[in-house]
Structure 1
């Protein structure tokens, strides 16, 4: 049995010890990075803190989400392997008709896929100068983080503690048993896709939310559809597109929409961006209430994607990694019923084709 396999099934005390040792060797590493170094899911390290810095939450995540407006202002964080999306705001305008929860409260704009929320924890981490960092962290069945909520100075800490107390799991154990999710089925070969029918249905779209349903109907992958549908509807840009896009949006004060996704959550920023900085491989937006950290070296392909809607044609820039999975989308800032901004179209037209 390898050291990683031993740690994967280790009790909390042993994982805590391994975490502390790894932190000593990698003082700047975040918990996600240390989990990768140790070869365990991030949720294993968080669970190992139960009884000390962490408390395990129950599984009624819909009820917990409905209670989040009581906290007031918080910071919400959704990330994937290549992009971290952070927003400051408060919860509200929550709708949970089934396994999809929608939070549409302006700055906090989320689409939550509850069937991928399997584990939750409340953490209180000691920081230098006697400060405490409080967070609510949620993970999928494999132990990958799907969403995190951090307290801020403006957060109602009494409401925070009341929410945690009301949603504690009956068993406060420090173990974590990941479940390996089944791999996605292989795509159909390109030759089996009826491209003419795909184009016909694409051109008949009236709402961007119908796009995924259309792909399922044609049993086509997203990247596959972009490759096949024709350059009038989708064409490639160079991987430098996201930096050029963000800098142009900042220079022109054009509001944009930024979608960052994982299997359990999509988090959306709508508005302007201002402070664009590049640090090593990271392309960053560092604004007062919105931070984005995007690895430029993970952008294998960038695509312009055009869709018709009741409000006119909409244009997106979609980022794909080396596995042909999309991880971040950009649109022009708009609300339903409004046409796309001409300034956004101008930004997209200025980007370099591949």
Structure 2
């Protein structure tokens, strides 16, 4: 699918902005029947310059920028983290950033459209996938090395802006129940690392929520809709460090540390700390689960929130590194949310 003619799209966009000035660009794209990448490419509400190069090349050069704000989101959760891109490993189809503040896992196979963007004077680098969905955005801040930012934008600026060809994404359909529930449970109990969970889902050909339903309530049990708000409130009150994972098709963004300032704004429950913001649309959460997995470091417990289509919105863990056991305070907090005893 090609971009609609620039004049017509810009005119429609300008009218929509006039009618509903508070709409964000993601929602404006949805209203107009186009993608966010198409709006950016057509300079609808922004000024953009296409960036040339592979996502690996573009990511490999981010370390020079200094402190920025990294943003990754899906339909129902937005994860913002201030810091620097350090320990960047982006040479293959999967990349990682392992700084103490910005912690990412990138899956470059779906990345395609890249831009330097200015919107109301605010500068950003924006990365979109083949379907025109925003994968990751990087915002310039007062702490950013301005000269390095300008040099980066100049270095990767494309000679001309290419046409945006959109490749629609079709999510794979996964069964809601495993054909061998007993085998799934046995495999689950034999896990050594939380990263092996996805491999298990593929092996048993089941959706994530389907696996949770089948595993047994000692391993996965549904909890009340307000569990996430109660968990974040409890973590803030006790200064308990947590891990927060928000993902889309192309990236996982992780915060590790305490949370402090919590605020509800309509359907959105927010963490509004100096270096970390989370915006979570709790009205979009169809189910919440406390999940326990065995590892070589002992049991690891998570709170996982899902949308109506079974899509994972956000995951929370207690802060930990490989080789360390789970924080007892985190385990106790999640057990307090759970109606049944968890595996021990």
TM-score of the two chains, using structure 2 as the length reference = 0.94
Matches within 5 A, 1:272-291: 272-291=258-277
Unaligned stretches of 5+ in structure 1? 127-131
Paired position in structure 2 for 1:182: 170
Unaligned stretches of 5+ in structure 2? none
Deviation at 1:40, TM superposition (A): 1.1
Question: Quick check: 1:106 aligned with 2:100?
Answer: yes
Q: 2:250 aligns with which of 264, 287, 292?
A: 264
Q: CA RMSD in A?
A: 1.7
Question: Quick check: 1:203 aligned with 2:189?
Answer: yes
Report the Cα distance in structure 2 between the residues aligned to 1:314 and 1:189, rounded to whole angstroms. 24
Question: Quick check: 1:123 aligned with 2:117?
Answer: yes
Question: Quick check: 1:67 aligned with 2:61?
Answer: yes
Question: Quick check: 1:315 aligned with 2:309?
Answer: no
Deviation at 1:213, TM superposition (A): 1.1
TM-score of the two chains, using structure 1 as the length reference = 0.92
Report the Cα distance in structure 2 between the residues aligned to 1:235 and 1:227, rounded to whole angstroms. 8
1:59–1:118 Cα contact (<8 Å) kept? no
Report the Cα distance in structure 1 between the residues aligned to 2:264 and 2:132, rounded to whole angstroms. 30
Runs of 4+ in 1 over 3 A off after TM superposition: none
Are the structure 2 counterparts of residues 233 and 97 from structure 1 closer, same or farther at C-alpha, using a change threshold of 3 Å? farther
Matches within 5 A, 1:3-18: 9-18=3-12
Q: 1:136 aligns with which of 125, 145, 167?
A: 125
Question: Quick check: 1:249 aligned with 2:235?
Answer: yes
Paired position in structure 2 for 1:129: none
Report the Cα distance in structure 2 between the residues aligned to 1:59 and 1:262, rounded to whole angstroms. 22
1:241–1:352 Cα contact (<8 Å) kept? no
- Deviation per CA, 1:140-178: give whole Å up to 9, x if none: 1111111000000111121112212222234324x4221
1:238–1:353 Cα contact (<8 Å) kept? no
| Equivalenced residues, count | 339
